[in-house]
């Protein structure tokens, strides 16, 4: 029910929407003006403005025009009128992607990506460096 209202609300918004944030205390739901960037399903880089729906807990949803792969990394930057240039992109992973009925918009269910700590297992870069060293014969 909340997502249906969110979709309808986003579709009705004029250009002036992008200068506001709406909070619905009844549903504990906030909607923020954001810029989303990443690579679409055709591996083309995109940047578009959208709305981020922030529900209870870690539930975040956005509607975008470009289709992305499940598990894709996207970057979301909060657009603020009060302090331009003070917002930095935050990495999110697209957990689920649903096409809207008209196939012109895609609904992303998002989870924030956190950097691995120093005491955790090696990340992708460390594994790549190890593989590269092995290929060169360096142990």
Number of domains forming the structure of the chain? 1
- Average pLDDT value over all residues in the chain: 76
Two tokens at 116? 């691995």
Position 36 pLDDT exceeds 60: yes
Position 72 pLDDT exceeds 60: yes
Q: What is the pLDDT of residue 68?
A: 94
Q: Which residues contact 85 (CB under 8 A, 6 or more apart)?
A: none
Terminal alpha carbon distance of the chain: 57
Q: What is the pLDDT of residue 20?
A: 44
Query: Which pLDDT band, with edges at 50, 70 and 90, does 124 fall under?
Result: low
Q: Structural domain of residue 62, as residue ranges?
A: 2-135
The domain that holds 111 is classified in CATH as 2.40.10
Q: What is the pLDDT of residue 101?
A: 77
Q: Which residues contact 41 (CB under 8 A, 6 or more apart)?
A: 66, 67, 68, 69
Are the C-beta atoms of 45 and 37 separated by less than 8 Å? Answer: yes
């Amino acid at each position: 029910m909340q997502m249906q209202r969110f979709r309808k609300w986003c579709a009705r918004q004029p250009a002036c929407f992008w200068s506001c944030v709406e909070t619905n205390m009844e549903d504990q739901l906030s909607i923020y003006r954001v810029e989303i960037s990443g690579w679409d399903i055709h591996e083309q880089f995109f940047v578009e403005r959208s709305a981020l729906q922030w529900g209870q807990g870690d539930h975040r949803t956005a509607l975008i025009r470009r289709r992305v792969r499940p598990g894709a990394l996207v970057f979301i930057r909060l657009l603020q009128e009060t302090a331009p240039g003070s917002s930095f992109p935050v990495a999110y992973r697209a957990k689920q992607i649903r096409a809207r009925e008209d196939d012109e918009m895609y609904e992303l269910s998002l989870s924030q990506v956190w950097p691995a700590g120093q005491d955790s297992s090696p990340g992708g870069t460390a594994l790549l460096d190890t593989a590269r060293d092995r290929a060169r014969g360096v142990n």
